[in-house]
Amino acid sequence: MAVGIFDSGLGGLTVLDAVQKRLPDVPFVYYADSAHAPYGVRTSDDIYDLTTRATQALFDAGCDLVILACNTASAAALRRMQESWIPDDKRVLGVFVPLIEALTERSWGDNSPPREVDVKHVALFATPATVSSRAFQRELAFRAIGVDVEAQACGGVVDAIEDGDMILAEALVNSHVDALKRKMPTPDAAILGCTHYPLMQAQFQAALGEDVKVFSQANLVAESLADYLSRRPEMIGGGAGGFLTSGDPKRVSDRATQFLRRQITFEAA
């Protein structure tokens, strides 16, 4: 067994890199559904079907615990999966929880009434599907009051990153930040609500300005996973890690190697 990490493409490698550094002795199996990326422009039913299919592939590979390192899947599919699909002996976790814990400075198990927090104006950059789901605003409202969230759907950024066109990706980031600032001129904080976006974190920060605190998910997810496994060590399992993809293994391997700057070899799922 190993811990599974799933993303619609290569963005989840930012999470994988962080969790491997935080938990070097834990084996991980990464699944990239590159044949169907990006998810951010798909319907919620389509995202659910693709996410359950990929998660089942990780279960079949011996993973009892799967991390949805994809905000779109976490927003559009996770709750439905938890309510009606996930077997009793398996666990699937999303990436919203650690982010909201950090933003509100309270643990997920804290069920006290929502209260005011230091951050008042939050910019959310995410895929169109994540924005339309309003999942981030819904979960935040359970824990904080008085927080104004302005969401910007960042069309095209994931495609540019997956294609390795970082010049286009930077131009799109600047355009989306400009659009956000027309709606919220002075955000206190910004959420990079897609696991691809940390690859462009410097560009987001530069466009937003140094006074804006930018929350990126990879390290937050790594710390949250370490805490979870300390409480549920039986979910770690053993066995070998690896990389699986529904896309062209050579092309995906080349892109992944470029992203992480170390040799990554994917196999066909």
The residue from 194, 214, 244, 256 that is catalytic is 194
User: What is the distance between the alpha carbons of residues 65 and 229, in angstroms, rounded to a whole number?
Assistant: 10
Task: Mark whether 154 is an active-site residue.
Answer: no
User: What is the distance between the alpha carbons of residues 250 and 109, in angstroms, rounded to a whole number?
Assistant: 42
The residue from 70, 77, 172, 212 that is catalytic is 70
Task: Mark whether 63 is an active-site residue.
Answer: no
3-state secondary structure the chain: CEEEEEECCCCCHHHHHHHHHHCCCCCEEEEECCCCCCCCCCCHHHHHHHHHHHHHHHHHCCEEEEEECCHHHHHHCHHHHHHHCCCCCCEEECCHHHHHHHHHCCCCCCCCCCEECCCCEEEEEECHHHHHHCHHHHHHHCCEECCEEEEEECCCHHHHHHCCCHHHHHHHHHHHHHHHHHHCCCCCEEEEECCCHHHHHHHHHHHHCCCCEEECHHHHHHHHHHHHHHHCHHHCCCCCCEEEECCCHHHHHHHHHHHHCCCCCCEEC
- Taking the CA atoms of the chain, what radius of gyration do you get in angstroms? 18
Could you count the other beta carbons within 10 Å of the beta carbon of residue 24?
7
Give catalytic residues, as residue numbers. 70, 194
